[in-house]
Chains A and B, each alone.
Chain A
Amino acid sequence: MNIESVKEFISTIPYNKISLKDILAFEKTPRNMLLAVTTLAFLAMFVIGVATYLVHGHHAYNVTREHPWGLLIAVYIFFVVSSTGLCIVGSLGDVFGFKDYMAISKRAIFGSIVTILSGFAVIAFEIGHPVTMMIYNVLSPGLTSAIWWMGTLYGLYLTFMIIEFVFLLKNDMKMAKYFGLTGLLVGLAAHSNLGSVFGFLNARPISNGVFYPTYFILTAFITGIYLAFIMYGFRYQLKFDEVAKKLLTGLAKIQGLLISILIFFVAWKLLTDIYGGMPNRSEVAVHILGSWTFWAEVILAMLIPLVIILKSGGTNLIGMFWASMSGMVGIMFMRYNLVHDTQLKPLQMLKKTEYQLPPEWVHYLPSSTEVMISLGGVGLCLLLYYVGTKLFNLDADEHH
């Protein structure tokens, strides 16, 4: 392969030439205007949040010695879970050959790229020294570190997703399948490694163990399906054609099964945590059960969507669109809970009273800067996706 052929390959990637005018050319319905204003507001928050961080550093965040991981870690996980989930959904058609799901491949894979880019944008302002990270991740890799594997594999995954997307655009399904499969496997490895970042914490019995590395894959699939409904809902303005109906009904049925498995998993996780009163685990689980954020996760991400799926046998697609909105808010709570609950219990290193503050539960409330950067990540994701819909044809090609 010479440089000429690479140049030719790149120059033949199909895309629409667009200007700023094209980006601003959307139907000025109240819904679209609301979405546009929200996106702009979130992007403005991102700028303010990042500026505040650049001036004040981590002091702009409410992270502490006892609670070093805050909202931005949760938001990063939220985005990479979304990305992995969309990659799984996108792979159903072009990797595994399920014809009914072929139509969503290109859109889902593009979604997986923009979500992980948004995740990287957020985590760049949580990691204290991102440039040092890029240098020493290569020069002195910590191979026993789950964070090293997670970060490195996600970098590779992004590369494979972009290549797969290019082949999908070029309608080269054979190559898309190869890169899609490789990307999927690397993505799943990366994502379960992200679970192991928590699972490997022997010091934190509430998170330690095999649960998170496996649960992360399950919740990624669930998140991917919620996002598929949301993307299709906007694409078809809730007036789905027959192909979309068939695709979404199938996904809704899969989602019903996945949510049931998730409820089963979470119930047994909490029961085994509480059973026997094991110190540092049992009381944390009981505390989690008493927190409203846990119930927000259960109601929004599990119960509401499951009831809607079960009531209609997966055919209430408009209901599922709204349930997916609720689901994504619930998934955000799920990620926040995961990060916060891991750090709930003080490590109690003989600090029975630590400088006049007896530690009971570690408290944390995100600062305004953390909230602004997090919402900014959402804004960035919406903007990138919107520009992508203008720049590329994300619908299945005609002959499919």
Chain B
Amino acid sequence: MARYGMALDYKNCINCKACEVACKEENGVLLGADKHRIWVGTGEIEGEYPLLSIASNTFYPSQCQHCDAAPCQEVCPTHATYYDENHVVRVNSDKCILCSYCMNACPYDARYVDDRTMTVDKCTFCSDTRLARGETTTACQNTCPTKVRIFGDLDDPESEISQVLRTRESKTLKSHLGTKPKLFYLL
């Protein structure tokens, strides 16, 4: 039993979107712009030449935050959304009734409808695929050329993610909502 989380050294992101492709390929996510489990947000360069703000040109990889107090899990009327044994927020498609309440309640826009099952889908930290095969990395992490992502067990003090979070400052997103996210942006 682990408590999986991810740290993102997001300033290293070069917006190659290899993570998005790897995620779709590994997890069989359907094609289409609104069918995505993870994404890279892009900040456009602000200002006018020559006074351009280089600081504004940033890339923010993001996805489901696998909150420890997930609003999507709280609002689900049938417990289709649940925490698995590794504290990963998952969806049981057999129980999902597609009321879409979780899509409205998630502050991170991390959920979408999978057209094959007509149920709500989301990032699983590759639990069905790579982790199920005994691997210890996620597809997005494995493919990243600049090593933005560090995935691991937050409860294991020796894991790389625990060590990084001990030695570097980090922030979480919208944590004022009480969601206790397990995605950490390294500063």
Residue numbers of A with Cβ under 8 A of B are 57-59, 63-66, 68-69, 127-130, 132-133, 136-137, 140-142, 144-148, 151, 197, 200-204, 342-343, 346-355
Contact = CB atoms under 8 A, between A and B. Distances in A.
B165 interface: no
A348 B41 CA distance: 9
Interface of B: 33-34, 39, 41-44, 60, 62, 71, 74-80, 94-101, 103-113, 115, 118-119, 173-174, 177-178
Contacts of A148: 77-78
A78 to B, nearest CB: 18
Nearest to B78: A136
21 contacts: A58-B113, A65-B103, A65-B111, A128-B97, A128-B99, A129-B119, A132-B78, A132-B97, A137-B77, A140-B79, A146-B75, A147-B77, A147-B99, A147-B101, A200-B75, A343-B104, A347-B107, A350-B62, A352-B43, A352-B44, A352-B60
B126 to A, nearest CB: 20
B77 A129 contact: no
A280 to B, nearest CB: 10
B105 A201 contact: yes
Contacts of A128: 96-99, 118-119
A216 B151 CA distance: 45
B144 to A, nearest CB: 17
B77 A65 contact: no
A355 B104 contact: no
Given A128-B98, A349-B173, A65 B79 contact: no
Contacts of A127: 97-99
A136 B97 CA distance: 9
B78 A142 contact: yes
Given A128-B118, A350-B41, A350-B62, A204 B79 contact: no
A68 B77 contact: no
Most buried by A among B77, B100, B103, B105: B77
A197 B101 CA distance: 8
Contact of A352 (B42, B98, B103, B174): B42
A65 B41 contact: no
Contacts of B96: 128-129, 132
List 10 A-B pairs, minimum CB-CB distance, nearest first: A128-B98, A350-B41, A203-B107, A350-B60, A136-B78, A68-B100, A148-B77, A133-B97, A347-B109, A140-B79
